[in-house]
Amino acid sequence: MWRAGTEISKPDLCFARTLLRSDRHSFVWTIREFSSLQRGQKRRILLNPTSRGGIQLTVNSFLREENGEEYVCIGIEDSSEIDYSWYSIQLCLLGVEGKVVHSKKAFANIESHITFFEKRKLMDDEASLIPNDVLCLRCEIQGEAKTVWSRIENCRHINSMNLVTLAKEMDEVALTEPEMTSNVSSSFTEAIKSLLEEGTLSDVSLRTDSKSFPAHKCILSARSPVFKAMFNGDMKEKTSKFVEIPDLDEDTLRELLSYIYTDMVTELEWRGATDLYRAADKYELLDLKRRCSIFLKSDLSVSSVCTVLVLADLHHDQELRETAQDFVMRQEEDFFTSDTWRSFKKENSYIAMEIMERIVCNIKRHH
């Protein structure tokens, strides 16, 4: 190894470093209305990266028949640009008292799944294993990433190859620490998060119908153009200590503020994602709206797609709308004769008409 532009004439002492990045997720997943889960359906949960530049995963639970037995299976989808080939996954089934009833550890990639537990055994012991029709899983997922970077950090000329001298010189060489952007960012995020949680030096409170949240006008203004206009314009909120937000519930406002202060989103579920999507659009938090949209597109089902179509139309989200339309176009005849679709057509005739026109055009194109 030698430096570019030089000849191999003198020995050098080099220090090199390789950075590997691996995200680890640990969470408890409650799958509600488990008994209604049918083959062909999926329940999903979105996992945000645990470090800057990390991975974003969608974890799926679904039913699959193997050797004549129906099993609960777990699969993953990776939306990251980092190449995570395999994931180490630890699954634990939690009983009514929160104790581990069954566990399994395995490796999986985006093209495979883990066969976890027989559905029949769950249904035979509902009171202990799925109380109130809720399947409770503790999950630990770790992905192995490729090298983020490798570089020579320090290089110096060696005057002698005497091993004793070399050992002394190695002790004297000052290693240049890499710029640990992620650590600094994490420390800063934690400090800002503490301002929200502790309410330190807050100068405004955001109030829902049931709870008030202390906040800081400068942070809200820096993150949201709507809050910026509210606190810097001729609106009453400029001098008020309170801002009434009656159209958001307590949980949605808490998630919204958490994102504003930390730039992170907790694990999403269907109802929370739709409410947070609306809030993100209202306060012009475009990245948050995009994240919610990704989750909604990954969690489409026959029972939710009509809601997504209306949501996308109301908030002028063409990409979400087209994804939902494509999902509808892939459905069989029984979907279009269902009460859900009939009701949707009656209340949203122009959206339904647009989908039917696309279906007709596709049929003509293929004939």
pLDDT above 70 as % of the chain: 78
The per-residue pLDDT for 300 is: 85
Give the model's pLDDT for residue 166. Answer: 43
Residue 366's pLDDT band (cuts 50, 70, 90)? low
Is the pLDDT reported for residue 63 higher than 60?
A: yes
- The full set of domains in the chain, from first to last, is 18-145 (2.60.210.10), 189-364 (3.30.710.10)
pLDDT digits (tens, 9 = 90+) for 297-306: 888 888 889 9
Q: Is the dihedral of CA 35, 40, 46, 52 positive or negative?
A: positive
In angstroms, the Cα distances linking 111 to 45, 67, 85, 87, 125 are 18, 20, 10, 11, 32
pLDDT digits (tens, 9 = 90+) for 18-60: 766 667 788 888 898 899 999 889 998 888 776 665 667 889 9
- Residue 232: the pLDDT is 87
* CB atoms closer than 10 angstroms to residue 332: 8
Q: Is 247 helix (H, G, I), strand (E, B) or coil?
A: coil
State the angle between helix axes of 318-329 and 286-298 in degrees (0 to 180), rounded to the nearest 10: 10
pLDDT greater than 50 at residue 188? yes
Q: What is the pLDDT of residues 323-339, one digit of tens each?
A: 898 888 888 888 888 89
pLDDT band, very low/low/confident/very high, at 190 (cuts 50, 70, 90): confident
Average pLDDT over residues 195-223: 91
Alpha carbons 22 and 86: distance in angstroms, whole number: 11
